[in-house]
Amino acid sequence: MEAPKPKLKLAVYWGAACGGCCVSVLDVHEKLFDVVASADFEFWPIAMDIKYKDIEEMADDHLDITLFNGAIRNSENEHMAKLLRKKSRLLVAYGSCSHLGGIPGLANFSNRDEIFRRVYEESESTVNPEKTRPLSEFSVREGLLEIPEFYNDVRSLSQVTDVDYYIPGCPPQTDRLLEVFSAIAGGSGLPPKGSVIGAGKRAQCDECVRKKTENKKIKKFYRPWEITDDGESCFLEQGVICMGPATREGCGYRCIKGNAPCRGCYGPTPGVTDPGTKMMSAIASIIDEKEPDDISRVVDDIVDPAGLFYRFSLPVSLIRRKL
């Protein structure tokens, strides 16, 4: 008889995140008892007493898997990303923020000074005539108070350290996480380093639950509230921008099932590095105009294309950040 497999040593950590990825781990619901049976949570700050110092004391590669969610927004996020890299056999970028920069990555359309000015000076409810701003070190009567340094821009996990795998999604579908777990726990062959796991290999559109025709042709794009969604047809064919063509499948069409167009949280399809470029070519192929002026009129209907095409991926895109 085979000896029971040793339990996996697992860590979950967040950078600049919202907690949704941690909630997605919790959303195994009643299967939680199964997960706890095959893995020991060695470090999960929402849940456990382990401190940074305890992580520093761990031997290198002590952890089997670290699921790192959240983007790199400040000095603490970066420090922890590098530390956990050292301590983990497999470092997995878990969720859109860690994978691509995510929604917090939209901050790269501005910089630290603009964000601070808006939040601490110009905000309608803020009363701050002295223009006080948070400082990473500040001396009070009793001693020195420290907080992490807020960086000028947001980076994805792989932009600060070496990453083994990516599990995409905002947040990742819990079912897919369970699949990945059993694959790793069962020791079945892992894909090459750098792979996206826990997601499909095709575009959203390939399996979309909405009806589509082969021959998409659009003369005008609409904002969602300018038309009445028929609840059945492809959004693009109705003239509403949907990120489906440029987005990897695997989410379970959760937004589409809620009658909302895709916004691309599962990241680009395999082989595509820049989702915006891919989306532009998808759009170009469905515009039903020949003359350059007409084409540009149709394209002009798309408001905020950068904020839409790079909704979850600005930090890893070709644009990357405001200069």
Partner 1 sequence: MTRRITIDPITRLEGHGKIEIFLDEDGEVDNVYFQVPELRGFEKFCEGRPVEELPSIVAKICGVCPGCHHMASGKAVDAVFGVEPTPTAKKLRELFYMAHFVHSHTAHFYALAAPDFVLGPDAPASKRNILGVIEKVGKEIGTEVIRQRRLAQEIQALLGGHQTFVVMNVPGGVRRGLTVRERDDIVEKAKGFVKFAQFSLDLFQNVVLGNKDYTDIILNGPYSLKLHSMGLVDENNKVNFYDGKVRVVDTEGKELYKYSPVDYLDYVAEHVEPWTYLKFPYLKKIGWKGFTEGQTSGVYQATPLSRLNASDGMATPLAQKEYERMYSVLGTKPVHATLAMHWARLIELLYSAERCLELAWDNEITGKELQAQLGRITGEGVGIVEAQRGTLTHHYFTDSRGIVTRVNLIVGTTNNHAAISMSIKKAAKGLIRKGAEVTQGTLNMIEMAFRAYDPCFSCATHSLPGQMPMVLEVRDANGELAQRVVRS
* Least spacing, CB of residue 268 vs partner 1, in Å: 19
* Whether 221 contacts 240, CB under 8 Å: yes
- The reply to whether 191 sits near partner 1 by the rule CB under 8 A is no
Longest dimension (CA), the chain: 74
Closer residue to partner 1 (CB): 136 or 182: 136
Return the residue of 39, 45, 190, 233 that touches partner 1, per CB under 8 A: 45
Residues in binding contact with partner 1, number by CB under 8 A? 84
Give DSSP secondary structure letters for 259-281.
Answer: T-----TT-BPTT-S-HHHHHHH
Residues 288-307 binding partner 1 (CB under 8 A) are 303-304, 307
- The reply to whether 37 sits near partner 1 by the rule CB under 8 A is no
Return the residue of 46, 61, 207, 211 that touches partner 1, per CB under 8 A: 46
Q: What is the C-alpha to C-alpha distance for residues 157 and 242, in angstroms, rounded to an integer? A: 27
Residue type, 202: R
Return the residue of 39, 299, 308, 319 that touches partner 1, per CB under 8 A: 308
Return the residue of 67, 81, 103, 298 that touches partner 1, per CB under 8 A: 103
Residues 112-131 binding partner 1 (CB under 8 A) are 114-115, 118-120, 122-128
Q: What is the C-alpha to C-alpha distance for residues 300 and 303, in angstroms, rounded to an integer? A: 7
- The reply to whether 132 sits near partner 1 by the rule CB under 8 A is yes
In this structure, the number of other CB atoms found within 10 A of the CB of residue 131 comes to 9
- Half-sphere exposure of residue 35, counting CA atoms within 13 Å on the CB side? 18
* Least spacing, CB of residue 11 vs partner 1, in Å: 13
* Least spacing, CB of residue 175 vs partner 1, in Å: 11
Return the residue of 224, 280, 289, 297 that touches partner 1, per CB under 8 A: 224
SS3 of 190-255: CCCCCCECCCCCCEHHHHCCCECCCCCCECCCECHHHCCCCCCECCHHHCECCCHHHEECCCCCHH
Give DSSP secondary structure letters for 30-65.
Answer: GGHHHHHHHEEEEE-TTT----HHHHHHSPTT-EEE
- The reply to whether 106 sits near partner 1 by the rule CB under 8 A is yes
Closer residue to partner 1 (CB): 164 or 204: 204
- The reply to whether 175 sits near partner 1 by the rule CB under 8 A is no
* Least spacing, CB of residue 27 vs partner 1, in Å: 7
**Residue that has been written with the tokens 């382990």 in this structure:** 50
Return the residue of 20, 168, 276, 315 that touches partner 1, per CB under 8 A: 20
Return the residue of 10, 92, 107, 234 that touches partner 1, per CB under 8 A: 107
Return the residue of 32, 34, 40, 207 that touches partner 1, per CB under 8 A: 32
* Least spacing, CB of residue 212 vs partner 1, in Å: 19
* Least spacing, CB of residue 174 vs partner 1, in Å: 8
Between the two ends of the chain, the Cα-to-Cα distance in Å is 62
Closer residue to partner 1 (CB): 164 or 210: 210
- The reply to whether 227 sits near partner 1 by the rule CB under 8 A is no
Closer residue to partner 1 (CB): 101 or 164: 101
Q: What is the C-alpha to C-alpha distance for residues 17 and 21, in angstroms, rounded to an integer? A: 8
Residues 248-267 binding partner 1 (CB under 8 A) are 254-255, 257-260, 263
* Whether 73 contacts 150, CB under 8 Å: yes
Q: What is the C-alpha to C-alpha distance for residues 170 and 105, in angstroms, rounded to an integer? A: 13
- The reply to whether 51 sits near partner 1 by the rule CB under 8 A is yes
Q: What is the C-alpha to C-alpha distance for residues 11 and 80, in angstroms, rounded to an integer? A: 12
